Amino acid sequence: MSQRLSFLAHGRVQGVNYRNFAAKKATELGVTGWCRNTEAGKVEGEAQGSQDALKQFMKELDNGPSHAHVVQLDQTPLDVKEGESGFDVRR
């Protein structure tokens, strides 16, 4: 059964390939959704997939790519969206 959540990554997450890292991990795990930079220097997004896939995806986002330093990763449950395919990096 699919679940969806929003996330907000705090720390050094811009300029370190964090969004592309998120997209790569989402694709590997079969997670759909999107992410983008915020004006406040954070990365926000939404992710949808199985409970196990989302748990692993959030673990990957909490670690981030090698040059990132995630200090906090907020998560909020959302309603599932039908018909979504892929994971988009938004500008």
Catalytic residue among 19, 20, 63, 91: 19
Per DSSP (E only), the strands in 22-78 are: 32-37, 43-50, 69-78
Element spanning 87, H or E: strand 87-89
pLDDT at 77: 98
Catalytic residue among 12, 17, 36, 37: 37
pLDDT at 91: 85
**Domains observed in the chain:** 2-78 (3.30.70.100)
Condensed to tens digits (0 to 9), the pLDDT of residues 31-83 reads: 999 999 999 999 999 999 999 999 999 999 999 999 999 999 999 999 999 99
pLDDT at 58: 98
17 is catalytic: no
36 is catalytic: no
Which neighbouring-strand residues pair with 26? none
Condensed to tens digits (0 to 9), the pLDDT of residues 9-32 reads: 999 999 999 999 999 999 999 999
In whole angstroms, give the CA distance from residue 53 to residue 31. Answer: 7
**Cβ atoms within 10 A of the Cβ of 75, count?**
14
In whole angstroms, give the CA distance from residue 5 to residue 60. Answer: 15
pLDDT at 1: 84
